[in-house]
Amino acid sequence: MNDLVFADDLLERIRSSGAPYHDRAYLFVLAAIEYLQSRLDVRRHVTAAELSWACRDFAQEQYGLMARSVLEHWGIRRTDDLGRMVYILVEAGLLVTQPGDRESDFTAVYDFHDAFSASYRWPGLARQQRG
């Protein structure tokens, strides 16, 4: 099976879940996992809360003040949505869980409005204030 057929097959399995998320949302979650893992001393299983916060931080780095709008455009409006996508990726065979992991672990980790509006760090602002 060539890579393109494999990728198409995976996308079809993901889309067949019926979830209302854009294809890019799943790629974002996978990239956020790598973003989080790259910041750990040792690669390991991460918690729902760790991944949820990493998604917020990664989105802010990638999309700045538009982070929340981009995620909402893709159908991600709550941390519950992140959990649903993670478990769709598990069902597709792209991620694995450990005993005790639950989709509900992603429920209300943070409020999107609060997390994206109150915590934005302006790049370079600290340098400007010091200089």
Give the structural domain span for 36: 29-130
**Would 23 be classed as within a structural domain?**
no
Question: pLDDT of 56-96, one tens digit each?
Answer: 999 999 998 899 999 999 999 999 999 999 999 999 888 99
**Would 13 be classed as within a structural domain?**
no
> CA angle 101-53-96, nearest 5°?
30
**Would 34 be classed as within a structural domain?**
yes
**Would 109 be classed as within a structural domain?**
yes
Total domains present in the chain: 1
- pTM of the entire predicted model: 0.84
**Would 20 be classed as within a structural domain?**
no
**Would 4 be classed as within a structural domain?**
no
CA distance 55 to 82: 8
Q: How confident is the model at residue 39 (pLDDT cuts 50, 70, 90)?
A: very high
Q: Give the pair of three-digit tokens for residue 115.
A: 């997390």
**Would 52 be classed as within a structural domain?**
yes
Q: Give the pair of three-digit tokens for residue 127.
A: 């340098």
**Would 93 be classed as within a structural domain?**
yes
Residue type, 33: I
